[in-house]
Amino acid sequence: MDSTYTNVTLLGDLIALSSIHEFLFRAFAFVLGAAVGSFLNVCIYRLPVDLSINKPRRSFCPACKAPIPWRKNLPLISWLLLRGRCANCGSRIAFHYFAVELLTALLFLAIWQSFPWQVAIAYWVFVSLLIVGTFIDFEHFIIPDVVTIGGIIAGVVASVVVPALMETNSRLAAGVRSMLGAALGYVILLIVLEAGKIAFGRKRIRFDASTPFTWTKREDDADFVVGSEQSLWSDHFAREKDRLLLDCDEVKIDNHSYAGVTLDFHYDRVAVEGNVLALDHLTQISGVARRLVIPREAMGRGDLKFLAAIGAFLGWRAVLFSLFAGSLLGSILGLITLVAGKRVWSAKLPFGPYLAFGAVSWMFFGDLFLRWYGGLLNP
């Protein structure tokens, strides 16, 4: 009897210790994720504007540029205690800083609970890259090479170190599968990009009434305003051969006036009535237009490398799933904005966040999706 009681007691103690052990590791994953999210905020803010992520080492307020001491830069806690404001100048700190920390913490926790620890560490690196690429793409419509090319390299290295990422025990096979996944991700979107350029490479806008426009030089770029819509000149040119056409009732190029002409723009020059003028030598072009033809791309080339990084970490099946799921989600949101009447001709939709959504969905639900799809094929 005493022996049975002792065994039951020991079993209870072991279960209690196991629960405490499991809780501590989960808490560590969450706290680590929040701390990493704080660093990711630094990357998201600095990388698109070519600021070093190491200098200055301490985070600073985006408004007053004052360094933030560590005690006022605790992940999640500081933003809540300061009510989303800078302790020095009182300026509002955007909610997305808190959102990045919370999202990273939750993903780190979910990954730790769902995968073996070796795979979990690799996926921590992967989702960190996804978060940086997503938030930069949302704001700047670019995905830096340090995220995409760095992600490809990191994915191949991680697959060799942890072959389970590629569902094999062989490091060589894992490395090969990772590189093939990256190659597929890049090539499949390259085909989509080139096919889209051939089929939908130009967008024609005919205005209901003659609409004023201005092109104004600004350092190495220019402001392009048509009616109420404003954009950067560089936003419309992804290739050297791209052309933008403006049918004008009247136009003024610096001190020269024209009537009833078509302006034929390349990124660095404009042709009018047989004359070719270098845009670097012009200050302003203004006038009234009745029709606009703009070049456009199906997506940016950063998306190609982003999907390649997804393939390097998750393999070729994840590439196809991420492309499908991302396209589906992007189409749904695009239709919603069209129905809501918020889309304009100059609007751009980042594709990277939708690819990231597909990749994370595959990580957690890929096996479930394959079983469901297999059931459809073989009921």
* Confidence (pLDDT) at 137: 94
> Region 79-83: what's the mean pLDDT?
85
**CA–CA distances in Å: residue 335 to residues 82, 323, 330:** 38, 18, 9
User: Does residue 179 have a pLDDT over 80?
Assistant: yes
User: Does residue 85 have a pLDDT over 70?
Assistant: yes
> Region 319-342: what's the mean pLDDT?
84
The closest of 151, 163, 165 to 308, measured between CA atoms, is 151
Provide the percentage of residues in the chain whose pLDDT is more than 70.
92
* Confidence (pLDDT) at 343: 58
- Cα-based angle 262, 268, 273 (whole degrees, multiple of 5): 25
Asked if residues 272 and 258 have their Cβ atoms less than 8 Å apart, the reply is: yes
User: Does residue 63 have a pLDDT over 80?
Assistant: no
Q: Which two tokens stand for residue 366?
A: 């890929």
Residue 12 pLDDT grade (very low, low, confident, very high; cuts 50, 70, 90): low
Q: What is the pLDDT of residues 202-260, one digit of tens each?
A: 889 999 888 999 999 988 899 999 998 888 898 889 888 999 999 999 999 988 999 99
Of 85 and 263, which is predicted with more confidence? 263
**CA–CA distances in Å: residue 235 to residues 47, 239, 258, 294, 300:** 19, 11, 26, 10, 11
Alpha helical stretches, state H, 117-243: 117-140, 145-161, 171-200
The closest of 207, 163, 177, 196 to 303, measured between CA atoms, is 196
* Confidence (pLDDT) at 184: 97
**CA–CA distances in Å: residue 149 to residues 76, 129, 283:** 30, 11, 38
Report phi then psi at 184, rounded to 5. Answer: -65, -45
* Confidence (pLDDT) at 345: 59
Residue 6 pLDDT grade (very low, low, confident, very high; cuts 50, 70, 90): low
At residue 293, the 3 state secondary structure works out as: strand
d(CA 335, CA 93): 32
User: Does residue 44 have a pLDDT over 80?
Assistant: yes
Asked if residues 170 and 305 have their Cβ atoms less than 8 Å apart, the reply is: no
d(CA 271, CA 274): 6
Q: What is the pLDDT of residues 16-38, one digit of tens each?
A: 666 787 889 999 999 999 999 99
Bridge-based pairing state of the strands 284-295 and 244-253:
antiparallel
* Confidence (pLDDT) at 220: 86
* Confidence (pLDDT) at 115: 95
**Residue carrying the six token digits 């704080």:** 38
* Confidence (pLDDT) at 18: 67
User: Does residue 82 have a pLDDT over 90?
Assistant: no
User: Does residue 99 have a pLDDT over 80?
Assistant: yes
* Confidence (pLDDT) at 104: 97
Determine whether 375 is exposed, middle or buried from the number of CB atoms within 10 Å of its CB (0-12, 13-18, 19+): exposed
- Cα-based angle 204, 205, 211 (whole degrees, multiple of 5): 145
Residue 283 pLDDT grade (very low, low, confident, very high; cuts 50, 70, 90): very high
What is the pTM for the complete model shown?
A: 0.85
Q: Which two tokens stand for residue 156?
A: 């191949």
- What number of CA atoms fall less than 13 Å from residue 131's CA on the CB side? 29
Q: What is the mean pLDDT of the chain?
A: 89
* Confidence (pLDDT) at 368: 87
User: Does residue 375 have a pLDDT over 80?
Assistant: no
User: Does residue 181 have a pLDDT over 60?
Assistant: yes
Q: What is the pLDDT of residues 144-165, one digit of tens each?
A: 999 999 999 999 999 999 999 9
d(CA 129, CA 216): 37
* Confidence (pLDDT) at 251: 95
Question: Which DSSP string corresponds to 213-281?
Answer: EEEEEETTEEEEEETTEEEEGGGG-SSTT--EEEEEEEEEETTEEEEEEEEEEETTEEEETTEEEEGGG
CA dihedral 338, 343, 347, 351 (to 10 degrees): -30
